[in-house]
Chain A
Amino acid sequence: MKKPIYLDYSATTPVDPRVADKMCKYLTLDGEFGNPASRSHPFGWHAEEAVEEARANVAALIGADPKEIVWTSGATESDNLAIKGVASFYGKKGKHIVTCKTEHKAVLDTCRQLEREGFEVTYLDPEPNGLLDLGKLRAAIRPDTILVSVMHVNNEIGVIQDLAAIGKITRERGVLFHSDAAQSTGKVPIDVNAMNVDLLSMSAHKTYGPKGVGALYVRRKPRVRLEAQMHGGGHERGMRSGTLATHQCVGMGEAFRLAREEMATENERIRGLRNRLLNSLKDMPEVYVNGDLEHRVAHNLNMSFNFVEGESLIMALKDIAVSSGSACTSASLEPSYVLRALGRNDELAHSSIRFTIGRFTTQEEIDYAAGLVREKVAKLRELSPLWEMHQEGVDLSKVQWAAH
Protein backbone atom coordinates (compact mmCIF):
# COMPACT_ATOMS: atom_id res chain seq x y z
CA MET A 1 0.00 0.00 0.00
CA LYS A 2 1.47 3.33 -1.13
CA LYS A 3 1.24 6.26 1.27
CA PRO A 4 -0.09 8.88 1.47
CA ILE A 5 -3.39 7.39 0.32
CA TYR A 6 -5.30 9.63 -2.05
CA LEU A 7 -8.83 10.26 -0.78
CA ASP A 8 -9.42 13.64 -2.38
CA TYR A 9 -11.01 12.65 -5.70
CA SER A 10 -13.37 15.63 -5.59
CA ALA A 11 -10.38 17.97 -5.70
CA THR A 12 -9.08 16.26 -8.79
CA THR A 13 -8.66 12.76 -10.21
CA PRO A 14 -5.59 11.19 -11.75
CA VAL A 15 -5.83 10.88 -15.53
CA ASP A 16 -6.87 7.34 -16.43
CA PRO A 17 -3.89 5.64 -18.16
CA ARG A 18 -6.13 4.80 -21.13
CA VAL A 19 -6.89 8.51 -21.47
CA ALA A 20 -3.25 9.53 -21.17
CA ASP A 21 -2.23 7.01 -23.84
CA LYS A 22 -4.72 8.43 -26.26
CA MET A 23 -3.77 12.04 -25.52
CA CYS A 24 -0.12 11.35 -26.27
CA LYS A 25 -1.02 10.58 -29.89
CA TYR A 26 -2.03 14.20 -30.48
CA LEU A 27 1.12 16.07 -29.57
CA THR A 28 4.21 15.16 -31.57
CA LEU A 29 5.29 15.22 -35.20
CA ASP A 30 4.52 11.53 -35.67
CA GLY A 31 1.09 12.05 -34.11
CA GLU A 32 -1.83 14.30 -35.06
CA PHE A 33 -0.50 17.66 -33.91
CA GLY A 34 -2.37 19.81 -36.45
CA ASN A 35 -4.55 22.82 -35.70
CA PRO A 36 -8.17 21.62 -35.82
CA ALA A 37 -9.10 24.95 -37.44
CA SER A 38 -6.71 24.42 -40.38
CA ARG A 39 -8.89 23.65 -43.37
CA SER A 40 -6.23 23.40 -46.07
CA HIS A 41 -4.42 20.14 -45.28
CA PRO A 42 -4.79 16.70 -43.67
CA PHE A 43 -2.98 17.77 -40.48
CA GLY A 44 -5.88 20.06 -39.68
CA TRP A 45 -8.55 17.65 -40.94
CA HIS A 46 -7.29 14.80 -38.76
CA ALA A 47 -7.09 16.99 -35.67
CA GLU A 48 -10.60 18.26 -36.37
CA GLU A 49 -11.89 14.68 -36.66
CA ALA A 50 -10.36 13.85 -33.28
CA VAL A 51 -11.88 16.92 -31.64
CA GLU A 52 -15.30 16.18 -33.13
CA GLU A 53 -15.19 12.56 -31.98
CA ALA A 54 -14.36 13.81 -28.50
CA ARG A 55 -17.17 16.36 -28.67
CA ALA A 56 -19.60 13.57 -29.54
CA ASN A 57 -18.43 11.59 -26.49
CA VAL A 58 -18.93 14.56 -24.19
CA ALA A 59 -22.40 15.15 -25.66
CA ALA A 60 -23.35 11.48 -25.33
CA LEU A 61 -22.68 11.42 -21.58
CA ILE A 62 -25.29 14.14 -20.98
CA GLY A 63 -27.77 13.25 -23.72
CA ALA A 64 -26.94 16.30 -25.84
CA ASP A 65 -26.25 16.92 -29.51
CA PRO A 66 -22.53 17.40 -30.28
CA LYS A 67 -23.36 20.81 -31.81
CA GLU A 68 -24.45 21.94 -28.34
CA ILE A 69 -21.00 21.44 -26.79
CA VAL A 70 -18.57 24.39 -26.50
CA TRP A 71 -15.01 23.61 -25.41
CA THR A 72 -13.60 25.73 -22.59
CA SER A 73 -10.61 25.64 -20.25
CA GLY A 74 -12.62 24.08 -17.42
CA ALA A 75 -15.76 24.38 -15.33
CA THR A 76 -14.80 27.80 -13.95
CA GLU A 77 -14.67 29.23 -17.46
CA SER A 78 -17.88 27.41 -18.38
CA ASP A 79 -19.65 28.94 -15.37
CA ASN A 80 -18.37 32.39 -16.28
CA LEU A 81 -19.37 32.02 -19.93
CA ALA A 82 -22.82 30.71 -19.07
CA ILE A 83 -23.74 33.27 -16.43
CA LYS A 84 -22.04 36.36 -17.85
CA GLY A 85 -22.96 35.32 -21.38
CA VAL A 86 -26.65 35.05 -20.49
CA ALA A 87 -26.54 38.25 -18.42
CA SER A 88 -25.02 40.25 -21.29
CA PHE A 89 -27.37 38.84 -23.90
CA TYR A 90 -30.62 38.91 -21.93
CA GLY A 91 -29.81 41.87 -19.65
CA LYS A 92 -32.35 44.06 -21.46
CA LYS A 93 -35.09 41.52 -20.71
CA GLY A 94 -34.38 41.38 -16.97
CA LYS A 95 -31.62 41.82 -14.44
CA HIS A 96 -32.41 39.20 -11.82
CA ILE A 97 -30.60 35.89 -11.22
CA VAL A 98 -31.41 33.16 -8.68
CA THR A 99 -28.71 30.88 -7.25
CA CYS A 100 -27.86 29.07 -4.00
CA LYS A 101 -25.48 29.90 -1.14
CA THR A 102 -23.69 26.56 -1.43
CA GLU A 103 -22.66 27.00 -5.07
CA HIS A 104 -19.01 26.83 -6.07
CA LYS A 105 -17.11 30.12 -5.95
CA ALA A 106 -16.96 30.12 -9.75
CA VAL A 107 -20.73 30.74 -9.70
CA LEU A 108 -20.92 32.88 -6.55
CA ASP A 109 -18.09 35.18 -7.52
CA THR A 110 -19.40 35.56 -11.06
CA CYS A 111 -22.77 36.57 -9.58
CA ARG A 112 -21.03 39.06 -7.28
CA GLN A 113 -19.38 40.61 -10.31
CA LEU A 114 -22.74 40.92 -12.06
CA GLU A 115 -24.15 42.62 -8.95
CA ARG A 116 -21.43 45.23 -9.34
CA GLU A 117 -22.64 45.66 -12.93
CA GLY A 118 -26.20 46.35 -11.87
CA PHE A 119 -27.77 42.89 -11.72
CA GLU A 120 -29.70 41.67 -8.72
CA VAL A 121 -28.99 38.17 -7.35
CA THR A 122 -31.03 36.08 -4.91
CA TYR A 123 -28.88 33.59 -2.97
CA LEU A 124 -31.17 30.85 -1.67
CA ASP A 125 -30.47 29.11 1.64
CA PRO A 126 -30.37 25.32 1.34
CA GLU A 127 -32.22 23.13 3.84
CA PRO A 128 -30.08 21.66 6.67
CA ASN A 129 -29.51 18.54 4.54
CA GLY A 130 -27.99 20.66 1.78
CA LEU A 131 -30.88 20.35 -0.68
CA LEU A 132 -32.94 23.22 -2.06
CA ASP A 133 -36.57 23.65 -1.09
CA LEU A 134 -38.25 23.89 -4.48
CA GLY A 135 -41.06 26.00 -3.04
CA LYS A 136 -38.50 28.63 -2.02
CA LEU A 137 -36.96 28.44 -5.47
CA ARG A 138 -40.32 28.91 -7.15
CA ALA A 139 -41.10 31.86 -4.89
CA ALA A 140 -37.77 33.52 -5.71
CA ILE A 141 -38.44 33.67 -9.44
CA ARG A 142 -39.74 37.11 -10.49
CA PRO A 143 -40.95 38.55 -13.79
CA ASP A 144 -37.48 40.04 -14.37
CA THR A 145 -35.61 36.80 -13.55
CA ILE A 146 -33.52 35.67 -16.54
CA LEU A 147 -31.48 32.81 -15.07
CA VAL A 148 -31.51 30.18 -12.33
CA SER A 149 -28.11 28.63 -11.58
CA VAL A 150 -28.06 25.56 -9.30
CA MET A 151 -25.21 23.07 -9.16
CA HIS A 152 -25.90 19.38 -9.74
CA VAL A 153 -23.61 17.88 -7.08
CA ASN A 154 -22.07 19.90 -4.29
CA ASN A 155 -18.28 19.70 -4.17
CA GLU A 156 -18.01 19.61 -0.37
CA ILE A 157 -20.90 17.48 0.80
CA GLY A 158 -21.77 15.59 -2.39
CA VAL A 159 -25.53 16.13 -2.24
CA ILE A 160 -27.43 15.84 -5.53
CA GLN A 161 -29.96 18.56 -6.35
CA ASP A 162 -33.08 17.49 -8.22
CA LEU A 163 -32.30 19.06 -11.59
CA ALA A 164 -35.37 17.59 -13.28
CA ALA A 165 -37.68 19.22 -10.74
CA ILE A 166 -35.84 22.55 -11.00
CA GLY A 167 -35.87 22.35 -14.80
CA LYS A 168 -39.61 21.81 -14.79
CA ILE A 169 -40.08 25.02 -12.79
CA THR A 170 -37.72 27.13 -14.90
CA ARG A 171 -39.25 25.88 -18.15
CA GLU A 172 -42.75 26.69 -16.93
CA ARG A 173 -41.67 30.16 -15.91
CA GLY A 174 -39.68 30.82 -19.07
CA VAL A 175 -36.41 31.29 -17.22
CA LEU A 176 -33.06 29.84 -18.35
CA PHE A 177 -31.54 27.10 -16.20
CA HIS A 178 -27.77 26.70 -15.77
CA SER A 179 -26.18 23.94 -13.74
CA ASP A 180 -22.57 23.43 -12.69
CA ALA A 181 -22.04 19.69 -13.22
CA ALA A 182 -18.28 19.63 -12.54
CA GLN A 183 -18.79 17.12 -9.72
CA SER A 184 -21.49 14.98 -11.30
CA THR A 185 -20.30 13.82 -14.72
CA GLY A 186 -19.60 10.10 -14.49
CA LYS A 187 -21.15 10.01 -11.01
CA VAL A 188 -24.83 10.64 -11.69
CA PRO A 189 -26.75 10.04 -14.93
CA ILE A 190 -27.44 13.30 -16.73
CA ASP A 191 -29.99 13.93 -19.46
CA VAL A 192 -30.18 17.59 -20.36
CA ASN A 193 -33.47 17.12 -22.22
CA ALA A 194 -35.26 15.15 -19.53
CA MET A 195 -33.97 17.65 -16.97
CA ASN A 196 -34.74 20.76 -19.04
CA VAL A 197 -31.26 22.13 -18.41
CA ASP A 198 -30.32 24.95 -20.79
CA LEU A 199 -26.65 25.36 -19.88
CA LEU A 200 -24.39 22.80 -18.19
CA SER A 201 -20.79 23.33 -17.06
CA MET A 202 -18.39 20.38 -17.17
CA SER A 203 -14.79 19.72 -16.27
CA ALA A 204 -12.49 16.94 -17.51
CA HIS A 205 -10.22 16.57 -14.49
CA LYS A 206 -12.91 15.54 -12.01
CA THR A 207 -13.73 12.58 -14.27
CA TYR A 208 -10.27 11.06 -14.89
CA GLY A 209 -9.45 13.44 -17.74
CA PRO A 210 -6.74 16.11 -17.88
CA LYS A 211 -6.76 19.49 -16.11
CA GLY A 212 -7.15 22.57 -18.28
CA VAL A 213 -10.13 21.52 -20.35
CA GLY A 214 -13.86 21.61 -19.85
CA ALA A 215 -17.03 22.22 -21.78
CA LEU A 216 -20.28 24.12 -21.69
CA TYR A 217 -23.48 22.61 -23.00
CA VAL A 218 -25.59 25.32 -24.69
CA ARG A 219 -29.11 24.29 -25.70
CA ARG A 220 -30.11 24.76 -29.35
CA LYS A 221 -33.83 23.92 -29.14
CA PRO A 222 -35.20 26.26 -27.88
CA ARG A 223 -32.11 28.21 -28.68
CA VAL A 224 -30.09 29.77 -25.87
CA ARG A 225 -28.04 32.82 -26.85
CA LEU A 226 -24.79 33.86 -25.18
CA GLU A 227 -22.62 36.92 -25.48
CA ALA A 228 -19.05 35.66 -25.98
CA GLN A 229 -16.61 36.46 -23.19
CA MET A 230 -13.50 35.54 -25.21
CA HIS A 231 -13.14 37.17 -28.61
CA GLY A 232 -10.89 36.22 -31.50
CA GLY A 233 -11.01 33.84 -34.43
CA GLY A 234 -14.65 32.94 -33.93
CA HIS A 235 -14.05 29.34 -32.87
CA GLU A 236 -16.85 27.31 -31.27
CA ARG A 237 -19.48 29.12 -33.33
CA GLY A 238 -18.27 32.44 -32.02
CA MET A 239 -19.01 31.57 -28.40
CA ARG A 240 -15.43 30.90 -27.35
CA SER A 241 -12.51 31.90 -29.52
CA GLY A 242 -9.09 30.32 -29.20
CA THR A 243 -7.28 27.44 -30.90
CA LEU A 244 -8.60 24.16 -29.54
CA ALA A 245 -6.17 22.08 -27.50
CA THR A 246 -6.56 18.87 -29.50
CA HIS A 247 -4.92 16.53 -26.97
CA GLN A 248 -6.95 18.04 -24.11
CA CYS A 249 -10.24 17.72 -26.00
CA VAL A 250 -9.32 14.14 -26.93
CA GLY A 251 -8.54 13.43 -23.27
CA MET A 252 -11.86 14.78 -22.07
CA GLY A 253 -13.72 12.89 -24.78
CA GLU A 254 -12.04 9.60 -23.91
CA ALA A 255 -12.54 10.15 -20.18
CA PHE A 256 -16.24 10.84 -20.74
CA ARG A 257 -16.58 7.82 -23.05
CA LEU A 258 -15.12 5.60 -20.30
CA ALA A 259 -17.38 7.25 -17.73
CA ARG A 260 -20.43 6.45 -19.85
CA GLU A 261 -19.41 2.81 -20.23
CA GLU A 262 -18.20 2.11 -16.72
CA MET A 263 -20.19 4.46 -14.51
CA ALA A 264 -22.83 1.99 -13.35
CA THR A 265 -20.43 -0.73 -12.19
CA GLU A 266 -17.81 1.69 -10.91
CA ASN A 267 -20.25 3.62 -8.74
CA GLU A 268 -21.50 0.46 -7.06
CA ARG A 269 -17.97 -0.55 -6.11
CA ILE A 270 -17.23 2.96 -4.82
CA ARG A 271 -20.48 3.13 -2.89
CA GLY A 272 -19.46 -0.10 -1.16
CA LEU A 273 -16.16 1.45 -0.11
CA ARG A 274 -17.78 4.68 1.06
CA ASN A 275 -20.30 2.77 3.17
CA ARG A 276 -17.49 0.66 4.59
CA LEU A 277 -15.70 3.84 5.66
CA LEU A 278 -18.89 5.31 7.08
CA ASN A 279 -19.71 2.13 8.99
CA SER A 280 -16.28 2.00 10.57
CA LEU A 281 -16.52 5.60 11.81
CA LYS A 282 -20.17 6.21 12.68
CA ASP A 283 -20.15 4.52 16.10
CA MET A 284 -17.62 7.06 17.44
CA PRO A 285 -19.16 9.58 19.86
CA GLU A 286 -19.98 13.05 18.55
CA VAL A 287 -19.47 12.44 14.83
CA TYR A 288 -21.90 13.88 12.31
CA VAL A 289 -22.38 13.30 8.59
CA ASN A 290 -22.76 16.61 6.77
CA GLY A 291 -25.39 16.66 4.04
CA ASP A 292 -28.09 14.23 3.03
CA LEU A 293 -26.92 10.59 2.82
CA GLU A 294 -29.73 9.48 0.52
CA HIS A 295 -29.47 12.13 -2.20
CA ARG A 296 -25.71 11.94 -2.41
CA VAL A 297 -23.01 10.78 -4.81
CA ALA A 298 -21.48 7.40 -4.02
CA HIS A 299 -17.92 8.63 -3.52
CA ASN A 300 -18.37 11.42 -0.96
CA LEU A 301 -18.26 11.24 2.83
CA ASN A 302 -18.14 14.53 4.71
CA MET A 303 -18.02 14.16 8.48
CA SER A 304 -17.56 16.45 11.44
CA PHE A 305 -15.55 15.12 14.35
CA ASN A 306 -16.82 17.37 17.11
CA PHE A 307 -14.29 19.03 19.46
CA VAL A 308 -11.37 18.35 17.10
CA GLU A 309 -10.19 21.15 14.83
CA GLY A 310 -10.09 20.19 11.16
CA GLU A 311 -6.67 21.46 10.24
CA SER A 312 -4.94 19.71 13.14
CA LEU A 313 -6.79 16.53 12.23
CA ILE A 314 -5.59 16.79 8.64
CA MET A 315 -2.09 17.24 9.99
CA ALA A 316 -2.50 14.10 12.08
CA LEU A 317 -3.85 12.23 9.09
CA LYS A 318 -0.78 12.90 7.01
CA ASP A 319 -0.82 9.38 5.59
CA ILE A 320 -4.12 10.08 3.90
CA ALA A 321 -4.83 12.98 1.53
CA VAL A 322 -8.18 14.51 2.47
CA SER A 323 -9.53 18.02 2.71
CA SER A 324 -11.13 20.04 5.48
CA GLY A 325 -14.09 22.34 5.51
CA SER A 326 -12.11 24.47 7.90
CA ALA A 327 -10.38 27.12 5.87
CA CYS A 328 -7.82 27.79 8.58
CA THR A 329 -5.21 26.56 6.12
CA SER A 330 -5.73 29.72 4.11
CA ALA A 331 -5.32 33.25 5.40
CA SER A 332 -8.95 33.38 6.44
CA LEU A 333 -10.14 31.80 9.65
CA GLU A 334 -13.64 31.33 8.35
CA PRO A 335 -14.98 27.80 8.41
CA SER A 336 -16.59 26.32 5.29
CA TYR A 337 -19.32 28.59 3.92
CA VAL A 338 -21.12 25.48 2.67
CA LEU A 339 -21.38 23.95 6.16
CA ARG A 340 -22.34 27.33 7.63
CA ALA A 341 -25.13 27.59 5.03
CA LEU A 342 -26.47 24.24 6.28
CA GLY A 343 -26.71 25.82 9.72
CA ARG A 344 -23.85 23.82 11.23
CA ASN A 345 -22.44 25.56 14.29
CA ASP A 346 -18.86 26.82 14.30
CA GLU A 347 -17.37 23.86 16.15
CA LEU A 348 -18.85 21.37 13.72
CA ALA A 349 -17.97 23.47 10.70
CA HIS A 350 -14.38 23.72 11.94
CA SER A 351 -14.24 19.97 12.61
CA SER A 352 -15.16 18.60 9.20
CA ILE A 353 -13.21 16.31 6.92
CA ARG A 354 -14.14 15.47 3.34
CA PHE A 355 -13.21 11.97 2.16
CA THR A 356 -13.72 11.42 -1.57
CA ILE A 357 -13.13 7.97 -3.01
CA GLY A 358 -12.39 7.07 -6.62
CA ARG A 359 -11.51 4.66 -9.39
CA PHE A 360 -8.18 3.59 -7.89
CA THR A 361 -9.15 3.37 -4.20
CA THR A 362 -8.87 -0.10 -2.64
CA GLN A 363 -10.57 -1.71 0.33
CA GLU A 364 -7.21 -2.03 2.07
CA GLU A 365 -6.76 1.74 1.79
CA ILE A 366 -10.22 2.41 3.21
CA ASP A 367 -9.57 0.12 6.19
CA TYR A 368 -6.24 1.78 6.88
CA ALA A 369 -7.83 5.26 6.65
CA ALA A 370 -10.65 4.33 9.02
CA GLY A 371 -8.23 2.99 11.64
CA LEU A 372 -6.04 6.05 11.37
CA VAL A 373 -8.97 8.45 11.75
CA ARG A 374 -10.24 6.68 14.86
CA GLU A 375 -6.80 6.70 16.46
CA LYS A 376 -6.02 10.36 15.67
CA VAL A 377 -9.43 11.72 16.62
CA ALA A 378 -9.07 10.02 20.01
CA LYS A 379 -5.58 11.47 20.43
CA LEU A 380 -6.66 15.01 19.54
CA ARG A 381 -9.69 14.82 21.80
CA GLU A 382 -7.37 14.00 24.70
CA LEU A 383 -5.73 17.32 23.82
CA SER A 384 -8.95 19.26 23.42
CA PRO A 385 -10.30 21.48 26.22
CA LEU A 386 -13.67 21.44 24.43
CA TRP A 387 -13.87 17.64 24.62
CA GLU A 388 -12.98 17.84 28.32
CA MET A 389 -15.76 20.39 28.91
CA HIS A 390 -18.20 18.28 26.93
CA GLN A 391 -17.27 15.23 29.08
CA GLU A 392 -17.92 17.35 32.18
CA GLY A 393 -21.36 18.19 30.84
CA VAL A 394 -20.68 21.85 30.00
CA ASP A 395 -22.95 23.25 27.28
CA LEU A 396 -20.43 24.94 24.98
CA SER A 397 -23.07 27.12 23.35
CA LYS A 398 -23.70 28.79 26.73
CA VAL A 399 -20.05 29.66 27.40
CA GLN A 400 -18.99 33.29 26.98
CA TRP A 401 -16.02 33.01 24.66
CA ALA A 402 -13.47 35.76 24.24
CA ALA A 403 -13.56 35.89 20.42
CA HIS A 404 -10.35 37.14 18.87
Chain B
Amino acid sequence: MAYSDKVLDHYENPRNVGVLDKSDPKVGTGMVGAPACGDVMKLQIKVNEQGIIEDAKFKTYGCGSAIASSSLLTEWVKGKSIEEAGKIKNTQIAEELALPPVKIHCSVLAEDAIKAAIADYQMKAGAKDSKADAA
Protein backbone atom coordinates (compact mmCIF):
# COMPACT_ATOMS: atom_id res chain seq x y z
CA MET B 1 0.00 0.00 0.00
CA ALA B 2 1.31 3.45 -0.84
CA TYR B 3 1.45 5.85 2.08
CA SER B 4 1.14 9.62 1.72
CA ASP B 5 4.30 11.72 2.15
CA LYS B 6 2.92 13.13 5.40
CA VAL B 7 2.39 9.66 6.88
CA LEU B 8 5.91 8.68 5.84
CA ASP B 9 7.35 11.86 7.33
CA HIS B 10 5.67 11.33 10.71
CA TYR B 11 6.47 7.63 10.64
CA GLU B 12 10.15 8.16 9.89
CA ASN B 13 10.56 11.18 12.16
CA PRO B 14 7.91 10.79 14.83
CA ARG B 15 7.43 13.94 16.94
CA ASN B 16 7.14 13.92 20.71
CA VAL B 17 7.87 10.27 21.39
CA GLY B 18 8.30 9.67 25.09
CA VAL B 19 6.81 9.49 28.51
CA LEU B 20 5.56 12.04 31.05
CA ASP B 21 5.31 11.25 34.75
CA LYS B 22 1.83 9.81 35.10
CA SER B 23 1.75 10.42 38.84
CA ASP B 24 2.12 14.19 38.22
CA PRO B 25 -1.34 15.76 38.84
CA LYS B 26 -0.76 18.04 35.83
CA VAL B 27 -0.36 15.04 33.52
CA GLY B 28 -3.28 13.26 31.85
CA THR B 29 -2.71 9.82 30.34
CA GLY B 30 -4.91 8.13 27.76
CA MET B 31 -4.34 4.60 26.51
CA VAL B 32 -6.67 3.21 23.88
CA GLY B 33 -6.81 0.26 21.51
CA ALA B 34 -5.89 -3.38 22.04
CA PRO B 35 -3.05 -5.64 20.97
CA ALA B 36 -5.63 -8.01 19.47
CA CYS B 37 -6.65 -5.31 17.01
CA GLY B 38 -3.04 -4.54 16.14
CA ASP B 39 -2.90 -1.07 17.64
CA VAL B 40 -2.45 0.52 21.06
CA MET B 41 -1.90 4.27 21.53
CA LYS B 42 -0.68 5.94 24.68
CA LEU B 43 -1.01 9.72 24.70
CA GLN B 44 0.02 11.99 27.56
CA ILE B 45 -0.56 15.71 28.05
CA LYS B 46 0.82 18.14 30.60
CA VAL B 47 -1.57 20.96 31.41
CA ASN B 48 -0.56 24.26 33.06
CA GLU B 49 -2.53 26.44 35.50
CA GLN B 50 -4.26 28.26 32.64
CA GLY B 51 -5.58 24.97 31.22
CA ILE B 52 -3.16 25.07 28.29
CA ILE B 53 -1.45 21.89 27.11
CA GLU B 54 2.22 22.75 27.40
CA ASP B 55 3.63 19.35 26.55
CA ALA B 56 2.44 16.14 24.88
CA LYS B 57 4.10 12.77 24.41
CA PHE B 58 3.06 9.51 22.80
CA LYS B 59 3.96 5.90 22.25
CA THR B 60 2.12 3.78 19.70
CA TYR B 61 2.10 0.11 18.81
CA GLY B 62 0.49 -0.14 15.40
CA CYS B 63 0.83 0.40 11.69
CA GLY B 64 2.48 3.43 10.09
CA SER B 65 -0.82 5.30 9.91
CA ALA B 66 -1.46 4.78 13.62
CA ILE B 67 2.01 6.07 14.49
CA ALA B 68 1.60 9.06 12.17
CA SER B 69 -1.88 9.88 13.55
CA SER B 70 -0.63 10.00 17.13
CA SER B 71 2.54 11.91 16.20
CA LEU B 72 0.51 14.54 14.34
CA LEU B 73 -1.96 14.82 17.20
CA THR B 74 0.77 15.60 19.75
CA GLU B 75 1.93 18.44 17.49
CA TRP B 76 -1.59 19.81 17.18
CA VAL B 77 -2.54 19.76 20.86
CA LYS B 78 0.57 21.49 22.16
CA GLY B 79 -0.30 25.10 23.01
CA LYS B 80 -4.04 24.45 22.79
CA SER B 81 -6.44 24.64 25.72
CA ILE B 82 -7.92 21.33 26.79
CA GLU B 83 -11.30 22.51 25.46
CA GLU B 84 -9.82 23.17 22.01
CA ALA B 85 -7.87 19.91 22.05
CA GLY B 86 -11.03 18.00 22.95
CA LYS B 87 -12.70 19.32 19.82
CA ILE B 88 -10.16 17.82 17.38
CA LYS B 89 -11.99 15.42 15.12
CA ASN B 90 -10.64 12.24 13.57
CA THR B 91 -11.71 13.52 10.14
CA GLN B 92 -9.23 16.40 10.44
CA ILE B 93 -6.41 13.96 11.16
CA ALA B 94 -7.48 11.63 8.36
CA GLU B 95 -7.65 14.54 5.94
CA GLU B 96 -4.27 16.00 6.93
CA LEU B 97 -2.55 12.62 6.54
CA ALA B 98 -4.61 11.59 3.48
CA LEU B 99 -5.45 8.26 5.14
CA PRO B 100 -7.08 5.65 2.89
CA PRO B 101 -10.48 4.27 4.02
CA VAL B 102 -8.98 1.12 5.63
CA LYS B 103 -6.84 3.33 7.86
CA ILE B 104 -9.55 5.70 9.09
CA HIS B 105 -9.73 3.71 12.33
CA CYS B 106 -6.20 4.96 13.13
CA SER B 107 -7.44 8.54 13.21
CA VAL B 108 -10.47 7.47 15.30
CA LEU B 109 -8.09 5.90 17.78
CA ALA B 110 -6.06 9.12 17.98
CA GLU B 111 -9.21 11.12 18.72
CA ASP B 112 -10.14 8.59 21.40
CA ALA B 113 -6.63 8.88 22.87
CA ILE B 114 -6.70 12.66 23.35
CA LYS B 115 -10.23 12.47 24.80
CA ALA B 116 -9.05 9.76 27.23
CA ALA B 117 -6.00 11.83 28.23
CA ILE B 118 -8.15 14.90 28.87
CA ALA B 119 -10.65 12.84 30.89
CA ASP B 120 -7.81 11.42 32.97
CA TYR B 121 -6.41 14.90 33.63
CA GLN B 122 -9.85 16.25 34.58
CA MET B 123 -10.52 13.32 36.87
CA LYS B 124 -7.23 13.97 38.67
CA ALA B 125 -7.92 17.72 38.85
CA GLY B 126 -11.47 17.04 40.13
CA ALA B 127 -10.14 14.71 42.81
CA LYS B 128 -7.65 17.38 43.83
CA ASP B 129 -10.37 20.07 43.92
CA SER B 130 -12.67 17.96 46.05
CA LYS B 131 -9.76 17.29 48.38
CA ALA B 132 -9.14 21.06 48.53
CA ASP B 133 -12.86 21.64 49.26
CA ALA B 134 -12.80 19.12 52.04
CA ALA B 135 -9.83 20.87 53.58
Chain A contact residues, CB within 8 Å of chain B: 307-312, 315, 326, 328-331, 333, 335, 346-347, 350, 382-388, 396, 401-404
- Is B36's CB within 8 Å of the partner chain A? yes
B3 adjacent to A315 (CB under 8 Å): yes
Q: How far is the CA of A326 from the CA of B62 in the complex (A)?
A: 11
**Number of CB contacts from chain A to chain B under 8 A:** 83
- Is B64's CB within 8 Å of the partner chain A? yes
B98 CB, min distance to chain A CBs, angstroms: 16
Chain B residue at minimum C-beta to C-beta distance from A388: B59
A315 adjacent to B35 (CB under 8 Å): no
B61 adjacent to A328 (CB under 8 Å): no
- Is B134's CB within 8 Å of the partner chain A? no
Partner of B32, one of A309, A350, A402: A402
Q: Which residues of A contact B63 (CB under 8 A)?
A: 309, 311-312, 315, 328
B61 adjacent to A385 (CB under 8 Å): yes
B3 adjacent to A403 (CB under 8 Å): no
Closest 9 CB pairs of A and B: A401-B34, A385-B42, A346-B36, A311-B63, A385-B59, A384-B61, A347-B35, A403-B34, A315-B64
Known: A309-B62, A350-B35, A404-B34. A385 touches B40 (CB 8 A): yes
**Chain B, interface size: which category?**
20 to 34
Q: Which residues of A contact B112 (CB under 8 A)?
A: 404
Partner of B38, one of A331, A333, A384: A333
Chain A residue at minimum C-beta to C-beta distance from B12: A316
A351 CB, min distance to chain B CBs, angstroms: 9
Chain B residue at minimum C-beta to C-beta distance from A327: B38
Q: Which residues of A contact B38 (CB under 8 A)?
A: 309-311, 326, 328, 333, 335, 346, 350
Known: A312-B67, A315-B63. A388 touches B19 (CB 8 A): yes
In addition to A309-B38, A309-B62, 16 A-B residue pairs with Cβ atoms within 8 Å of each other are A311-B63, A315-B63, A315-B64, A333-B38, A350-B35, A384-B61, A385-B59, A385-B60, A385-B61, A387-B61, A388-B42, A401-B35, A401-B40, A402-B33, A403-B36, A404-B112
Q: Which residues of B contact A388 (CB under 8 A)?
A: 19, 42, 59
- Is B41's CB within 8 Å of the partner chain A? yes
Q: Is the contact region of chain B dominated by helix, strand, or loop, or is it mixed?
A: mixed
> Would you give 17 A-B contacts (Cβ < 8 Å), ordered by A?
A307-B61, A309-B61, A311-B63, A311-B64, A312-B66, A346-B34, A346-B35, A382-B17, A383-B59, A383-B61, A385-B41, A385-B42, A385-B61, A386-B61, A388-B19, A402-B33, A403-B34
B105 CB, min distance to chain A CBs, angstroms: 7
Chain A residue at minimum C-beta to C-beta distance from B102: A331
Interface residues of B in 11-65 (CB under 8 A from A): 11, 14, 17, 19, 31-42, 59-64
Chain B contact residues, CB within 8 Å of chain A: 1, 3, 11, 14, 17, 19, 31-42, 59-64, 66-67, 102, 105, 108-109, 112
- In this complex, the member of B33, B63, B64, B109 whose beta carbon has the largest number of chain A beta carbons within 10 angstroms is B63
B36 adjacent to A401 (CB under 8 Å): yes
A333 adjacent to B31 (CB under 8 Å): no
Q: Which residues of B contact A310 (CB under 8 A)?
A: 38
Partner of A384, one of B31, B60, B109: B60
Q: Which residues of A contact B67 (CB under 8 A)?
A: 312, 383
B51 CB, min distance to chain A CBs, angstroms: 26
Q: Which residues of A contact B60 (CB under 8 A)?
A: 383-385
B8 CB, min distance to chain A CBs, angstroms: 8
Q: How far is the CA of A402 from the CA of B34 in the complex (A)?
A: 6
Q: Which residues of A contact B41 (CB under 8 A)?
A: 385
Q: How far is the CA of A401 from the CA of B36 in the complex (A)?
A: 9
- In this complex, the member of B35, B36, B42, B109 whose beta carbon has the largest number of chain A beta carbons within 10 angstroms is B35
